[in-house]
Structure 1
Amino acid sequence: MRGWVNDPHSGGVKIPEQVKQRTKQRILAYAEKHYAGKYIRIDVRFKGYFCYIDAYKEPFLPDNDDLSMFKITRSEYIERAKNTPIHLCRLRYKGNEEKWTKAFYTYSNEKYEPSLFNNGTFYGTPEEAFQSSALYLD
């Protein structure tokens, strides 16, 4: 016997333009209030029913000797590092601005993996998603 199962990490609803604008403003305001100084900029982009949140940080500056193995100059290294995003998370829109699902970017697998919010459920707000994914900013 087959039954219907609610999978929070499949499907979704195309995000309306007004929701995109509000969501981006909410995420940027939250980041500025709680994580100011820990990033250069935050990039919030949308595709279909997904919202991607990336951060950019000031790069770690190695000694000139350490750069010799990369065969690039110090300024080239800094420019490249400043423009390399830190993928924080991907949100999936299910039709409710207060109940998104989240996938955390895992660098070990180089893909987004479904994850829980800190409230112990698969659903939360964009601010909660940013807060739980911001460990890459520390």
Structure 2
Amino acid sequence: MMKPGTLILHVAARFLVPLQLLFSVFLLLRGHNEPGGGFIAGLVASGAFALYLFTFGAVMTRDLMRIDPRNLIGIGLFLAMISVFPAWFQDQAFLTSQWWPVMLPGGTEIKLSTPLIFDIGVYFTVFGSVMLMLVALTETEER
């Protein structure tokens, strides 16, 4: 069984994991205008959970994730695939970006898009793949 990490690692993990997850969402959302996007954001999020995994073990990490990594891979692939259909239904080229303005309460307008749906799919797929490998390797080590 894996020995618990040091006190410093436990304290650092509790502060760094939420910050890394917040940074991964930032990278995901800014990926269309500047460097970033679903792939690197998924790697940053899996890095946060890897820190938690190495600190607290596989069982606690699975409890924190709440969703099996294989399901995340499937959800991600599904989202990436459905992002191609809006252009197809508009008789446009495959993977042509579509944008939809959405008014939020207070008069703020945001634009949702098919590239964002695709990037969220890539995010879930990368995150699920890395976590599936890390948890499987750690569980093998704990036995």
TM-score range, shorter chain: under 0.3
Report the TM-score when normalising by structure 1: 0.26
Taking CA–CA contacts closer than 8 Å with sequence separation of 6 or more, which of the two structures ends up with the larger relative contact order?
A: 2
Where is the strand percentage greater, Structure 1 or Structure 2? 1
Structure 2 length as normaliser, TM-score? 0.25
